[in-house]
Amino acid sequence: MAQQQSPLALRSLEEVPDPAPGRRFVLKNLYNFLNREIFDGALPSKMEVRWESSLHTSFGKSSPAGPIRLSHTLLYKHPSRDFLIDVLLHEMIRQRQHQFAPQEKGNGPYFMAEMERINTAFGRRVAVTFSSPYSLRQLDKVCKHRWKCTSCAFVVKKSRAIPPGAEKRREHSDTGCSGELVKMTPNTVAGDIAAYCAASLAAEEQLQ
Ligand SMILES: [Zn+2]
C-alpha cells in the first residue's frame, strides 16, 4: 500500500523542491505556509489545493470556493521553485479578491494592489498572467501527426496518423541517435511551452 505523505508544516520556502517529474510534494503545506506568512492567515484553512494533470492552458486555476489547481503537466517541467511559489501566490491573491472584492473581475485594482504589496514586501515576482501562450486546441494542432525522438530534437511530420516509415527512421538513425520516435502529446511539448513562457516573461520585464 502506498504510504501517505505526512502533512508536515513547512518551516521555510527553502524546503520547497523544484518541480520535477514524479515529484508531487504536498501543495497544501506550501499554501498553509504562505497563508500564515504573507496573508496573516486570512485565507480559508480548509481550501483544497491540488495538482492537476489535465490543465494544459494555464499554470494555475481557482474558483471562489476552491479548489486551487496547479498544472502538474506544465509546472513539473519548469525547473524553478520560485516560479511555482509565485504561481500559487497568484491563485491565493485571486482567492483574497473573491473574499474582499467579489465585484472585481479579472486583474482589477484590488488584485493589482495586493500583487504589488506582496512583490514589494516579500521580494516575490508574482505576475498578472502565467497562462500558457498556447490553447489546448493549438497544442493538439502542434502535436497532430508528429513524432518526436525521446533523446534528440528530431521531429517527423506526417499527413496522416501513421508512424514514421523506414526512410524517416533511417534519416534519424543516420544522425547517430538511437532514441525512440514517439507520438507527440501536449505533455511532451510542455517543456517547450514552459521555456517559451519564461522567455515571454523576461521580454515583458525588459519592456517595463
Ligand atoms: Zn534522436
Calpha distance 90→203 (Å, rounded): 20
Residue 178 pLDDT: 93
Place of cell 504510504: 3
Between the CA of 164 and the centroid of ligand 1 the distance, in Å, is 13
Of residues 63, 93, 62, 59, the one with CA closest to residue 78: 59
Kindly list the distances between the CA atom of residue 17 and the CA atoms of 88, 168, 194, in Å, as whole numbers in the listed order.
14, 40, 17
Q: How many CB atoms lie within 10 A of CB 128?
A: 12
Between the CA of 154 and the centroid of ligand 1 the distance, in Å, is 6
Between the CA of 169 and the centroid of ligand 1 the distance, in Å, is 10
Between the CA of 52 and the centroid of ligand 1 the distance, in Å, is 30
Residue 6 pLDDT: 41
Between the CA of 148 and the centroid of ligand 1 the distance, in Å, is 8
* Beta-bridge partners for 20: 23
Does pTM top 0.75 for this prediction? no
Kindly list the distances between the CA atom of residue 2 and the CA atoms of 5, 53, in Å, as whole numbers in the listed order.
9, 20
Would strands 181-183 and 49-52 be described as parallel, antiparallel, or unpaired? unpaired
Between the CA of 167 and the centroid of ligand 1 the distance, in Å, is 14
> Any idea which architecture 24-122 has in CATH?
2-Layer Sandwich (3.30)
Q: How many CB atoms lie within 10 A of CB 123?
A: 8
Which element (helix H / strand E) includes 149? Answer: strand 146-149
Q: What is the DSSP secondary structure assignment for residue 43, as one 8-state letter?
A: S
Q: What confidence tens digit (pLDDT) does each residue in 72-131 have?
A: 877 776 657 888 899 999 999 999 998 889 898 877 889 999 999 999 999 898 888 765
Higher-pLDDT residue of 27, 191 = 27
Between the CA of 178 and the centroid of ligand 1 the distance, in Å, is 6
Which residues of the chain form CATH 3.30.2010.10?
24-122
Residue 47 pLDDT: 94
Between the CA of 54 and the centroid of ligand 1 the distance, in Å, is 27
Between the CA of 102 and the centroid of ligand 1 the distance, in Å, is 51
